[in-house]
Amino acid sequence: DKSSIDEIVGFLKAGPLDPNTEVVVAPPALYVDYVRRSLPPTIAVSAQNCYKVAKGAFTAEISPAMIKDIGATWVIIGHSERRQVFGETDELIAEKIAHALSVGLGVIACIGETLQEREAGKTEEVVFRQLAAIKAKVTDWTHVVIA
């Protein structure tokens, strides 16, 4: 809700923020523009997700171009909730990352194992597989942060 967002915005504006640290906030999609207009330009705004194509009949999906159009400069892709709840595959996530980069967004690429995978000793296997899928689609990692 906007009151919670306003509290966070107030906290960030009050600072101090280290000028050598890039700060990026990622509100829910409905609030991206509101947050972008509320924060100083020294704090970047990210969407929490996007789709892999620019346009088409993809109800409720947000394209990277739409995100960029409202002034956000980053997007989070591959969050564990998207992988687990929505069944997003490593390949789909890699496609989304490549498309977001192609329109000039920075990407926060989320990787990581589930608790089950960690307990089974599969962390390295899972993380390697996820990164390999991204590597197959991305050649320039300048604007990618791995989270």
Reported as a pLDDT band with limits 50, 70 and 90, residue 54 is confident
Q: Could you give the dihedral angle defined by the CA atoms of residues 36, 72, 146 and 129, in that order, rounded to the nearest 10 degrees?
A: 130
pTM: 0.93
The whole domain housing 98 covers 2-146
Say if residues 73 and 42 touch (Cβ distance below 8 Å). Answer: no
Per-residue model confidence as pLDDT tens digits over 63-113: 999 999 999 999 999 999 999 999 999 999 999 999 999 999 999 999 999
CATH number of the CATH domain containing 138: 3.20.20.70
Cα(30)–Cα(17) distance, integer angstroms: 26
What values do phi and psi take at 58, rounded to 5?
A: -125, 75
Taking residues 9-23, what's their average pLDDT? 94
As a whole-number percent, the residues of the chain with pLDDT over 70 amount to 100
The answer to whether residues 71 and 31 touch, using CB atoms and an 8 Å cutoff, is no
Total domains, the chain: 1
**Rounded Cα gap, residues 25 and 104, in angstroms:** 18
